Amino acid sequence: MFLRLLRLCTPLIIILFGLTSHSALAHAHLKQQTPVAESTLTASPKEISLKYSEGIEVKFSKIELLNPNNKIILIDDLLLDPSDNTRLIAPLKAPLSAGRYTVNWHVVSVDGHKTKGNFQFIVKPD
């Protein structure tokens, strides 16, 4: 009786452990960004805001903003939203002129995993 029950439950136990392990090893994936990727803005944004699927370690994360000539634009120190540790904020030091901008980012999540990516947006004042 016990062996039969064990044979029936073993696949379920394996599946449950597999799902638990997978979620524990998840990386911080970019869920939302402002400005939105491939968007066209009529005015310069005041900041770049990135929201991830899990908490971020701001000390080990970086956002790089490139102008239309692929030159790095200086930004203020990165901030973590005080009410949401999944939201990283990069305040801009000065307004952006017209053109296509590239945002390169890499982050380390609170569980130590690294992820990176990039996206572009356009500033086209009226």
pTM of structure: 0.78
Residue 14: is its pLDDT beyond 50?
Answer: yes
pLDDT of residue 23: 44
> Which domains can be identified in the chain, with CATH numbers?
27-123 (2.60.40.1220)
What pLDDT is recorded for position 90? 97
* Residue 109 per-residue DSSP state: B
Q: pLDDT digits over 45-68, tens only?
A: 999 999 999 999 999 999 999 999
Contact of 45 with 35, CB cutoff 8 Å: yes
Residue 8: in which H helix or E strand, if any?
Answer: helix 2-24
Phi-psi region for residue 112, left (φ > 0), alpha (ψ -120 to 50) or beta? left
Asked if residue 119 has pLDDT above 80, the reply is yes
State the average pLDDT over residues 18-32: 67
Instruction: Identify the pLDDT of residue 21.
Output: 42
Angle at 106 between CA 103 and CA 111, to 5 degrees: 150
Q: Is the pLDDT at 32 greater than 80, yes or no? A: yes
